[in-house]
Structure 1
Amino acid sequence: MRDMPDALMLFAAGFGTRMGALTRHRPKPLVEVAGHPLIDHALDLVRGARIARTVANVHYLGDQVVRHLVGTGVAISDESDRILETGGGLRKALPLLGPGPVFTLNTDAVWSGPNVLSALRAAWDPARMGALLALVPADRAIGHGPKGDFTVAPDGRLTRGGDHVYTGAQIIDPAGLADIPDEAFSLNLLWDRLAGEGRLYGMIHQGDWCDVGHPGSIPLAEAMTHV
């Protein structure tokens, strides 16, 4: 089994309800920022990091995402029957992703600065880590509320609560998903287990990040991309 990730899961199945009318007839990954769909901003990161295999899960208006990805080489994990959340979705996609640790990337954010996926790869240490999450300080989380998700210890280990926000990019060893009984579940379940084992780590992204979770974030993200 490989120790270094060379496959990536794009989470593209969500309903995007906070986007209101913008997602009434199109899925959130196809909402445009600076003239490009959000999923294309994510794919730019993937290509820049030279990741060998990419899989996207689809559910809400998934046929539109599938058509958009034709010719990109991205494999599709079909969740049209039932949305499986991040944990269940990743587990279903594992046959397409292959064994060992994988990248995961949300498709509702815009980034600047160093390629976050390349930085995660450089910081990944499979001997110590079960997951490595890319974070930004809460005061640099554009378009996001003031609440943080994690505290980062001096050695990089994470605990819940604090002043750092998870950005939706990580490397994770999915082996622990096998014994979770639910079909649909969040990766938070695995993160909590890894944190208890001292194997949940964080890396601070050395650039800007905008959470494009609602319409008001779009101009913020566009301003960031033009800095």
Structure 2
Amino acid sequence: MPDFPLPLMIFAAGFGTRMGALTADRPKPLIPVAGRALIDHALEVGQRAGVSRTVVNTHYRAGQMAAHLAGRDILISHEAGQILETGGGLKAALPLLGDGPVAILNSDGIWTGANPLRELAAAWDPSRMEALLLLLPLADTLAHGPKGDFRLAPDGRIHRGEGGEDHVYIGAQILDPARIAATPDAVFSLNKPWTEMIAAGTAYGIVHRGGWCDVGHPEGIAAAEALLHSAQDD
């Protein structure tokens, strides 16, 4: 398989507070799902896509994360003093990621079906996009909640805050990091540049051809394992 054209950032620095006691002695990305650490599922997505450069950020129980990743061709962006949130974490990792667009995965997602990174790369158009987010219709998601994150327009642009948000962001995207690099703050969420990109008309979405489960809470473990089992049976 040819190399994936972009570097990959995997967010793995969070405290995992919604996991309760499960993260008392380990970081959330090391919680096992179907016999493997969560982060290994995300890393496999990258490997199957042909990613050649992967960066993982760490903060909470970073020593455990470093030990788990030791011996692999993975760069670590350690957030030592404070957790930087998603935008700040990406900004801090940019020297390791290099110039140009970046693919991003959350470490607490399970995807089945088409490879998320390959889907995004096939649809990415840097001449008109600053962001391309992978989405699912709200009705097709597992245990997400009653509200969606975005409305997906017929032209592929995403919108929010106007009602009718019937699509869910499922933790995979490609970003042009220019706005992130230019943000003066050290700690900020990607929601800030997303809002700016939506206003500029440069934020787009595509619908994933497969399933997804958020493993951000204990109930998500069983749901993710059921999803994986169902995918094996297909």
TM-score, reference length from structure 2: 0.94
SS where residue 77 of structure 1 aligns? strand
Aligned to 1:218: 221
Deviating beyond 2 angstroms after TM superposition, the runs of 4 or more aligned structure 1 residues are none
Shift, 1:141, TM fit: 1.3
Aligned to 1:25: 25
Shift, 1:143, TM fit: 2.4
What are the ranges of 5 or more consecutive residues in structure 2 without an aligned counterpart? Answer: none
What are the ranges of 5 or more consecutive residues in structure 1 without an aligned counterpart? Answer: none
Aligned to 1:188: 191
Percent of paired sites with the same residue: 58
Structural RMSD (CA) = 1.0
SS where residue 196 of structure 1 aligns? helix
1:160-171 paired onto structure 2 within 5 Å: 160-161=160-161, 162-171=165-174
Aligned residues: 224
SS where residue 92 of structure 2 aligns? helix
1:61-80 paired onto structure 2 within 5 Å: 61-80=61-80
Shift, 1:29, TM fit: 0.2
List per-residue Cα deviations over 1:68-98 (Å, max 9, x = no partner). 0011211000102111001111011001000
1:116-131 paired onto structure 2 within 5 Å: 116-131=116-131
SS where residue 170 of structure 1 aligns? strand
Distance 2:5 2:159 in 1: 24
Contact 1:133/1:203 (8 A) holds in 2: yes
Distance 2:138 2:104 in 1: 21
SS where residue 156 of structure 1 aligns? coil
SS where residue 185 of structure 1 aligns? coil
Distance 2:216 2:88 in 1: 22
Aligned to 2:155: 155
Distance 1:178 1:66 in 2: 26
List per-residue Cα deviations over 1:135-174 (Å, max 9, x = no partner). 0111111121121000000010000150100011000000
